[in-house]
């Protein structure tokens, strides 16, 4: 049971790094429930066990000889091991194996019928402490199952029953074709440039409006990514839907300097809020 695994506990990996069969390496559990970029559905086990090419797919054992994970990947700036390795918890791996045998594919759960702005406190009795926990909890629920959510909505805690839907293949909004250097626009002062969605993108995303981030120009603007679709802006408690680049830039240009605003963003199949500080109109 991976839930019994403790941080600091010794673990052992067996694999074939660089073709050297049956190589054994050891280390400790550094952290549990790690989320990695583009891997929100897997609560990785982080260890300092030496993992190299050829280890992936090999077992991670505890000191009782039980398989607690499947070695998956490392974090490295050099391409070699740097003390950070990650394993998929064995219960997650077994669930994937079960779905592959039964359906021939993995069906991850997603949409649950909540409203924009809801704060999710619990999902089927499981407390949600931060946003990185929710995809894993929902993802472990089979599509079609009903679940009870406790949400904080407009100052009131309430329970709602939802039917969990299946997460479709990622439909990341494609970046618009380059049309030379984008013109100066109010959004540039936020560290990124936007363009209108094409008719095809609106149809694929089932949106009536919105703008797509074409280029991120400020390295510190890590919370906004190229390909993000901005659908609305909230400032001083007022939310305005974004219809076009012209309207979006006009809206930003009317803001006072150093105004904090919240962008409503579609990123792939996920919806999220990004808070930025606007500089307002030049002058």
Q: What is the pLDDT of residues 267-281, one digit of tens each?
A: 876 777 888 776 543
Neighbouring CB atoms inside 10 A of 264's CB total 21
Distance, CA of 84 to CA of 19 (rounded, Å) = 21
pLDDT on residue 160: 82
Q: Are 94 and 129 in contact (CB under 8 A)?
A: no
Say which DSSP state 48 is in: -
Distance, CA of 282 to CA of 254 (rounded, Å) = 10
pLDDT on residue 30: 94
Q: Are 31 and 48 in contact (CB under 8 A)?
A: no
Q: Are 123 and 134 in contact (CB under 8 A)?
A: yes
Record the pTM: 0.48
pLDDT on residue 14: 94
Residues of the chain with pLDDT under 50: 109-110, 170-184, 219, 280-283
pLDDT on residue 176: 39
Q: Write out the two tokens for 141.
A: 């629920």
pLDDT on residue 21: 85
pLDDT on residue 280: 43
Alpha carbon of 256 to those of 228, 236, 252: distances in Å?
24, 11, 9
pLDDT on residue 180: 38
pLDDT on residue 36: 73
Q: What is the pLDDT of residues 55-81, one digit of tens each?
A: 888 999 999 999 999 998 887 666 667
Domains, the chain, in order of start with CATH, read 2-101 (2.40.10.10), 119-163 (2.30.42.10), 186-278 (2.30.42.10)
Distance, CA of 245 to CA of 249 (rounded, Å) = 6
């Amino acid at each position: 049971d991976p839930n019994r695994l403790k941080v600091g506990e010794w673990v052992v990996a067996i694999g074939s790094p660089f073709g050297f069969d049956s190589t054994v390496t050891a280390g400790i559990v550094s952290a549990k429930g790690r989320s990695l970029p583009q891997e929100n559905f897997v609560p990785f086990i982080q260890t300092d066990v030496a993992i190299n090419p050829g280890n992936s797919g090999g077992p991670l054992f505890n000191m009782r000889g039980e398989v607690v994970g499947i070695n998956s990947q490392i974090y490295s700036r050099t391409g070699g091991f740097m003390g950070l390795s990650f394993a998929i918890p064995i219960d997650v791996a077994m669930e994937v194996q079960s779905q592959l045998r039964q359906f021939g594919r993995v069906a991850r759960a997603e949409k649950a019928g909540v409203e924009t702005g809801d704060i999710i406190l619990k999902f089927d009795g499981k407390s949600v402490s931060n946003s990185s926990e929710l995809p894993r909890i929902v993802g472990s629920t089979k599509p079609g199952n009903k679940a009870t959510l406790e949400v904080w909505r407009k100052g009131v805690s309430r329970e709602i029953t939802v039917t969990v839907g299946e997460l479709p293949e990622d439909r990341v909004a494609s970046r618009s074709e380059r049309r030379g250097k984008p013109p100066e626009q109010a959004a540039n002062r936020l560290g990124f440039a936007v363009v209108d969605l094409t008719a095809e993108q609106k149809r694929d995303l089932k949106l009536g409006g919105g703008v797509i981030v074409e280029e991120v120009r400020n390295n510190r603007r890590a919370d906004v990514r190229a390909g993000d679709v901005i659908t609305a802006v909230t400032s001083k408690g007022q939310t305005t839907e974004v219809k076009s680049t012209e309207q979006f830039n006009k809206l930003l240009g009317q803001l006072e300097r150093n105004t904090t605003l919240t962008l409503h963003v579609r990123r792939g199949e996920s919806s999220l809020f990004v808070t930025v500080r606007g500089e307002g109109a030049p002058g």
